Structure 1
C-alpha cells in the first residue's frame, strides 16, 4: 500500500482522534442508527480525553454520513477541532465502529480496510464487440465500449458451397471483432492503470479476445466462469480481486522470508521484531513495512518524538539522541509514520498463506531493508 496519502497526518502534532465507522448496513432506520453512532463515538473520544472542539468536528463529520450509500465505511482523523483526512474504506472495519484518542493517528487498520483495492476492467464481450466497466471496492463505472463489424455474425446449418463461403465470412467477422476488442481493452487498461482484466462472455468469445491481448495484459487477465446475466458474476469478480491481493501479498512475504536469512557475513536484508524494525526506522532503512495486525508486537508500546524517525524502544534512548519531549505510542502506528516519512510502502500480511510452520514476520512486525 502506498502511504503517501497519509502525509497530512504527520505534518501537524498530536494528539489525534482516529475514528473508523461502519456504513455497510442500509435499512429504513440507518439514518437514526448512524446518528446514535455519531453521538456514541464523540462521547467515547471525550471519555479518552479529547478536546471538545475535536469531538464536535468528528460528530459533525459523522452526522454528514447519515444518508451515505458508501458500501463499507470511512475513517476520520481529526485534531484541534478539524477533520484532516477522511478516506473511504474498501472493507468494513473489523469489530465495527470505534474511536481512539492517542499521540499518533491510528492508521494501521487502513492496511486492511483501505489497503489493497485492485482496480479491474471487466469486459462484457459478445460477437459484435464489448462494453468495459471499471470496478473497485467502492463501486463501478462505465469505461467505454468497442463495436466491430456487424455483418455477417451468424452461421447457418447448410452444407451448400455458397453457405460455406458465408460461414467463412462469419468466422472472419468474429476474428476481426475479437482483435478490435483486444486492442481497445489493452488501451483501456493502460489509460485506467487497472491491476486486472476480467473477461465475461461465451467461452469462444472470451478465448478469442484473451489470445489476442498483448503479453503484458494477458498475464493480468482472468476469464470469469459465469456470464453477464448470472447472479454469480459479482461473486466471481470479488473472488478474482481477492485472489489477486493474496497473490501479491504472498509474493512479498516470500521475498521477506528469503531475505531474513543472513548472508555469509551475517547481514540480512530483512529484519523483524520491534527492536530491529525500530532501529531500521530510525536510520531510514525501511524499504517496505510488513505488518501482521494480530501479532503481539503490533500493539507493543514504544516511545516517539515529534519527528517520524524519533522512535525508540525505551524513553531513555530518545533522550540520548537529544529529544527532550516524547510520548508512548503503539509500535505499529509509530512504524507506519516512519514509513510515510521515507516514502516506504506497507502491507498487511493477513491475506497471505505463509508456508507451513512459518511465523512471519515474528511478532507481527518486519521490514525489507534498503541496505544492510
Structure 2
C-alpha cells in the first residue's frame, strides 16, 4: 500500500489534533447525533491542551461529509490553527476518538484504506427481449475505485445508453475502452453485475486479458445511491483478499528471505533499517499494539526503541510516542510502502519485517 496520500499531513509541524468520529446518516436526526459526538471529543481535546482556535477549525470541518449517505465516518487532522486533512471513512471508527499529540494519529486512517484493491465495477441493465427486433435499451454504468475507501469516495463513472438491437456491436466497441480504463487504474478485478443476458454479451466480447479479471455478482444493483457502484457485492468479492501489488511484495520478501537477500525481521532490525531510510516496504502481520512505544525526534527517520539511542545520534529531547504513529511517519517520510499480511500467509518475527532497498549492515550515522 502506497502512503503518498498522507504526504500533506506530514508537511506540517505538530502538535496535531487527530479526530475520528461516526458521521453516519442512517439514524434519526443525524446532524444532532454528530454534534453530540463532537461535543464529547471537543471536551476531550480541551483536557489534552488543544487551544480554542484549533478547536474552531475542527468544529468547522465536523459533519462536512453530510452529503455522503448511509453508514460512514470522518477523519480530521489539524495543526497550528489550520485544517491539514479531512476525509471520509468507509466504516465508522470502532469508537470516536480525539488525540492531541506531537505526531498525527494516522494508523486508523491507514487501516480503513486496507486492503486498497483497485477495481472496475460494471452494471448492465436492459428492458425487453434479447432479440435484434426488440425496441428497447441497454444501460451501462461503470465506475473505477479502490476498495474499501471508494465506498464513500467513488471514482470516475461512465454512463451509456445503447439500443438493444445494437448491443452486440456496441459491446465489441466498449471492450477496448474498458480495458484501457482498467489498465490506467491498475484494476485487479472487473466486477460485473446486473442483467445476466446483457452482462454475458459484454463479458464474451471483452478483450481476453480483461475477461480473465471478471468476477460476476448477483443481487440488487442500484446505480444512484451516492455510494460506490456495486458496493454490497464488492465487500463479498474483496473481503479477506490482498491487493495484487501487495501480494507481489510478499512473494518478493519470501524469495529474498529464502536466499538471504536484503530483508529484515523483528522490531529492532526493522527500526534500524528505517533509521537508514533503507526500507522499501514494511510488512506487518497486524498494526502494532497500542501499548508499544517508540522514541522519536523531529525527522521521520529519527525513531528508536530506547531514548539513549536517539540521544547518541544527537537528537535533543526525544519524545516517546505510540509505535504506529512513529512508523507511519517514517514510511511516508522515506516513501516506503506498507503491507499488512495475514500471519497464515506469512509469519514474521515479532509480526514485523521489511523489504530493503539495499543490503547494508552498517549503523545509522
The residue number in structure 2 matching 1:31 is 31
CA distance in 1, matches of 2:68, 2:211: 37
CA distance in 1, matches of 2:173, 2:241: 27
2:159 to 124, 131, 144: 144
CA 125–67 in structure 1, closer or farther in 2 if over 3 Å, else same? closer
Pairing 1:242–2:256 present: no
Greater shift, 216-225 or 96-105, is seen at 216-225
The residue number in structure 2 matching 1:344 is 336
CA distance in 1, matches of 2:138, 2:67: 39
TM-score by length of 2: 0.79
Pairing 1:288–2:309 present: no
Aligned residues of 1:111 and 1:346 also touching (Cα < 8 A) = no
The residue number in structure 2 matching 1:88 is 88
Pairing 1:370–2:363 present: no
CA distance in 2, matches of 1:316, 1:42: 36
2:24 alignment partner, SS class = coil
Greater shift, 252-261 or 17-26, is seen at 252-261
CA 203–26 in structure 1, closer or farther in 2 if over 3 Å, else same? closer
Q: CA RMSD in A?
A: 3.1
Q: Deviations over 1:207-234 (max 9, x none)?
A: 443233223322322112447589xx65
> Unmatched 5+ residue regions in structure 2?
131-136, 224-229, 360-365
CA distance in 2, matches of 1:302, 1:319: 13
The residue number in structure 2 matching 1:133 is 142
CA distance in 1, matches of 2:70, 2:304: 39
CA 221–69 in structure 1, closer or farther in 2 if over 3 Å, else same? same
Aligned residues of 2:263 and 2:353 also touching (Cα < 8 A) = yes
Greater shift, 323-332 or 56-65, is seen at 56-65
CA 174–36 in structure 1, closer or farther in 2 if over 3 Å, else same? closer
1:86 alignment partner, SS class = strand
CA distance in 2, matches of 1:210, 1:344: 37
Aligned residues of 2:294 and 2:305 also touching (Cα < 8 A) = yes
The residue number in structure 2 matching 1:323 is 315
1:189 to 149, 172, 182: 182
Aligned residues of 1:103 and 1:328 also touching (Cα < 8 A) = no
1:199 alignment partner, SS class = strand
Query: What's the offset of the Cα at 1:175?
Result: 4.7
Larger radius of gyration: 1
CA 203–304 in structure 1, closer or farther in 2 if over 3 Å, else same? same
CA distance in 2, matches of 1:82, 1:341: 21
The residue number in structure 1 matching 2:134 is none
The residue number in structure 2 matching 1:157 is none
The residue number in structure 2 matching 1:164 is none
Pairing 1:109–2:108 present: yes
1:26 alignment partner, SS class = coil
CA distance in 2, matches of 1:120, 1:36: 38
CA 80–244 in structure 1, closer or farther in 2 if over 3 Å, else same? same
Query: What's the offset of the Cα at 1:85?
Result: 0.9
The residue number in structure 1 matching 2:226 is none
Pairing 1:304–2:303 present: no
Query: What's the offset of the Cα at 1:139?
Result: 5.7
CA distance in 2, matches of 1:111, 1:258: 27
The residue number in structure 1 matching 2:363 is none
CA distance in 2, matches of 1:279, 1:176: 59
